[in-house]
Chain A
Amino acid sequence: MNIFRFAGDMTHLISILVLLLKIYATKSCSGISLKTQELYALVFLTRYLDLFTDFISVYNTIMKLVFIASSLAVVCCMRMHRVVRRSYDKDLDTFRHYFLILASFVLALLVNEKFTFQEIFWAFSIYLEALAILPQLVLLQRSGNVDNLTGQYVFFLGAYRAFYILNWIYRYFTEQHFSRWIACVSGLVQTVLYADFFYYYFISWKNNAKMQLPA
């Protein structure tokens, strides 16, 4: 464990807490893409298949359980909760995310560490996570204005993978035989996808104005 990875995990945790805060405090999920939440639930479920077979550390196990439980809780809340689900932007959240699932799965069959059940699903979860934010970014683009908590949620979600890139660079130089090209390349693509969001987020922060995405 190194400081970059710990910072990345904490940033990821903060993004989840901000999302939960937004939904429970405002009793509204306006501006949140249900499709992105479903994709993230799928990412965690397919990545942590080894949750009960490979014990790495208490920290690792607890964080995996937190990520799985929180992503499922958000999806259930956005689908079931009678108050929250009324504020879901159903007609804006129309990204065909099934294509993202299919593309990631096909790519995982072609490019993986080992052609085994667990490795293919691990690669699938890595590719899917890189694309999972797309429905959310499209929804924000369409809705134009971004409320503070939603903006912070997406910002921290993007920042956590940037910390992981620093972690991979650090591990590359400090550990022999460290090679996680799949995660590195995919993590890079994931972070780049946030680039324009980060730009507009920074502009709104600098001008101390409400965040506006160009329509």
Chain B
Amino acid sequence: REQSWSHDEL
């Protein structure tokens, strides 16, 4: 499964 990105940006 695609690695779900985290909201690491502002």
Contact = CB atoms under 8 A, between A and B. Distances in A.
B5 A183 contact: no
A167 B3 CA distance: 19
Contact of B10 (A60, A113, A122, A180): A60
B5 A164 contact: no
A180 B2 CA distance: 12
Interface stretch (A28-36, A141-149, A171-179, A200-208): A171-179
B1 to A, nearest CB: 9
Interface in A39-70: 47, 50, 54, 56, 60, 63-64, 67
A177 B5 contact: yes
Q: Is the interface of A mostly helix, strand, loop or mixed?
A: helix
Contacts of B8: 56, 60
A194 to B, nearest CB: 18
A38 interface: no
A5 interface: yes
Counting contact residues on chain A (CB < 8 A from B), the size range is 20 to 34
B9 to A, nearest CB: 7
Interface string A104-135: 00000000010000000010000000000000
B7 A122 contact: yes
A12 B10 contact: yes
A164 B9 CA distance: 9
Contact of B2 (A5, A50, A67, A179): A179
A54 B6 contact: yes
Nearest to A59: B10
B7 A176 contact: no
A180 B10 CA distance: 13
Nearest to A183: B9
B7 A179 contact: no
B6 to A, nearest CB: 7
B2 A177 contact: yes
A9 B8 CA distance: 13
A45 to B, nearest CB: 14
Interface of B: 2-10
The 5 closest A-B pairs by CB, nearest first: A177-B3, A177-B2, A56-B8, A63-B10, A9-B10
